[in-house]
Amino acid sequence: MKSLIPLFRLMKLFSGWILLSLLMGIATIGAGIGLLGTSSWLIASAALHPSIADLQVAIVGVRFFGISRGVFRYLERLISHSVNLQILSELREDFYRRVEPEAPVNLYSYHSGDLLQRMMGDLETLENFYVRVAAPIIVAIVITTGMSLFVGGYLAQCGIILAAGLLTNGFILPSLTYLISHPWTRDLTEVNADVSALMVEEVQGLEDLQSYHADERWSGVIQKRYSRIAKMQNKITAINATGNALSLLVLNFTVLGVVWAAIPHIGRGELNGVMLAVLALVTSSSFESVSSMPSAAINLNLSMKSAKRLFAFGEQRLKIKLPDRGIPIPPGDKLSFKEISFIYPDALQPVLKKISFSLNKGEKKAIVGVSGAGKTSLFNLLFRFYPPSSGDILIDGINLQSVDQPDLHYIYGVVSQSPYVFSTSLRENLKLSKPGSTDEDLLQALDQAELGEWVRSLPDGLDTWLGEKGVKMSAGERQRLAVARLLLQDPPILLLDEPTANLDPINETRILNNLFKIFNQKSILLVTHRLARLEQMDEILVLDQGEIVERGKYVDLIAREGRFKHMVDFADDLVSSDNELLFEM
């Protein structure tokens, strides 16, 4: 039950509506009991041919309970589902609040399919927690107590028998159902998440699976998982059906018990004979309040597992200093690294060691190095995906950890190695960086990013749908789209993470020249392993195993004949080899 505490906190926000919904639920079942009890008294009394005046109150009661039951049921459904939707809205917002501070770094250990299952399947399960678990339990407790006292007021024995039957159906059988179904519901949630992850991977990797003729084998694995799910669901259904059958058996035995206990008292004249029918039907109708308890037990099992998975996010967050909301957004005139060291959680060796450098307004600096040198880790620190293990990152003298993360959007813009393209139109993808842009602004940015002719050749122009992850664009076009976003954003600091990784040398030179020309007055930090256009850099920092081993201008580093000179020579040899191969072909 501990896993449900966050859910109860969310439900507390709607305590007034929940209370009203519960009252409507109790009133609905109470009206049903009143309808059967009054009807049975009316029919049994009418058989004795009394005066119509003696039956007048009962006739009015039947009309009242018959109408009010429908009204109360409608109001109960209306209010309870309204509460359900409000709780769902809060659950989604809470889930986002838990995920967003951890993204993207702390999500790397999750399968995308598992995340999808948490966002869809687990949320859907908890969405129905109130209607299928909480409300039935509370209504059952109130009706069981009230009807046991009511019937016990006529005959104590009958009240005890009714209480025993309602407790058996409402709590003992559901508890057994809960215990028996617990292993199956627990495993069902896990297998559903596993299947969801496999399905997403199959769709994402379908081309490779087909290339290696492994698609049928992969589908076979998924089919086995679905067969396992079917077996689990059959087990749960069988347990639920058995519980329902036993509930019906207990109901019938309880009615017989109440009738058996009442007959002697009627024979002795201690109880009016008409009340025998009333007691029998009131007892039978009282079980409506506990009829959904076996299902509630199974749903409770599912809800606890889903809650544990859903609310697991945010329990072990990185210890990042909360920003001071009073700090204004820095202008971004100077970015400084002061003795920065960093080691990933659970890693053995640090990836950055005592990194120190500054990027002043208008300066252009490049960070180069082989794969694994620590370039990407340095960018992760800039975006506050991780806090530094030691040292400080300062923006205009203000510690980066004191700046609100959304404010970083106004300080620096990014072109990454693999820019994400959303499944929407070209216009909406561009407006991601500057929502208020006009079509003229968008086209101007596309022209500067060497995409203008391509866009004008499209039948739908800016309204062209780019497909899932930009599947309708080439890798180079996606890279230019990211450059266009940066042009629209116009931040004071540009962070370029392999911005021309997917471009040919000619377009690479054109894009870099455009960037340096357009953002001539901006600060630029370029991270790359491609050494084109580095002559324009004010300083080049050479990273190796997390340390700055060389720094200086292009000409100076070449003349030094150190690590950087070796990288340039190696790159030239690769280009020469490629050219010779093309010439031979």
Distance of alpha carbon 94 from alpha carbon 82, whole angstroms? 18
Tokens (6 digits) for 282: 């009131």
Strand, coil or helix: 561: coil
Class of residue 228 by CB neighbours under 10 A (exposed 0-12, middle 13-18, buried 19+): middle
Identify whether the C-beta of residue 523 lies closer than 8 Å to the C-beta of residue 359: yes
Identify whether the C-beta of residue 482 lies closer than 8 Å to the C-beta of residue 513: no
Strand, coil or helix: 448: helix
Class of residue 363 by CB neighbours under 10 A (exposed 0-12, middle 13-18, buried 19+): middle
Class of residue 178 by CB neighbours under 10 A (exposed 0-12, middle 13-18, buried 19+): buried
> DSSP label at 288?
G
Residues in the chain: 585
Angle made by CA atoms 68, 71, 75, in degrees to the nearest 5: 135
Cβ neighbours, 10 Å, residue 505: 11
Q: Which domains does the chain have, with CATH numbers?
A: 2-310 (1.20.1560.10), 334-418+494-584 (3.40.50.300)
Class of residue 52 by CB neighbours under 10 A (exposed 0-12, middle 13-18, buried 19+): exposed
Class of residue 205 by CB neighbours under 10 A (exposed 0-12, middle 13-18, buried 19+): middle
> DSSP label at 164?
H
Number of H helices, E strands in the chain: 22, 10
Element (H, E) at 60: helix 52-99
Torsion of CA 382, 388, 391, 395, to 10 degrees: 20
Question: Of 473, 479, 519, 484, which Cα lies nearest the Cα of 497?
Answer: 479
> DSSP label at 138?
H
**Which residue, chain included where needed, has tokens 């800016």?**
462
Would you give the end-to-end CA distance of the chain in angstroms?
Answer: 69
Strand, coil or helix: 282: helix
Give me the tens of pLDDT residue by residue for the chain, a chain 585 residues long. Answer: 667 787 788 888 888 888 998 999 899 999 999 999 999 888 888 888 888 888 888 889 899 999 999 999 999 999 988 888 888 888 888 877 777 766 666 666 666 666 766 777 677 778 778 888 888 888 889 999 999 998 888 889 999 999 999 999 888 888 888 788 777 777 777 787 778 777 877 777 777 777 777 778 888 888 888 888 888 888 888 888 888 888 889 999 999 999 999 998 888 888 888 888 889 999 999 988 888 887 787 778 778 877 877 777 665 544 444 445 556 778 888 889 999 998 877 777 888 888 898 988 888 888 888 777 778 788 888 887 778 888 888 888 888 888 877 777 788 888 777 788 888 888 888 888 888 888 888 888 888 888 888 888 888 888 888 887 777 887 778 878 888 888 888 888 888 887 776 667 777 777 777 777 777 888 888 888 777 678 888 898 888 888 888 888 888 888 888 888 887 776 655 445 444 433 444
CA-based torsion, 565, 566, 569, 571: positive or negative: negative
CA-based torsion, 43, 49, 52, 54: positive or negative: negative
Amino acid 185 reads: T
CA-based torsion, 521, 525, 527, 529: positive or negative: positive
Cβ neighbours, 10 Å, residue 449: 28
Strand 398-399 versus strand 390-395 pairing type: antiparallel
CA-based torsion, 498, 501, 505, 510: positive or negative: negative
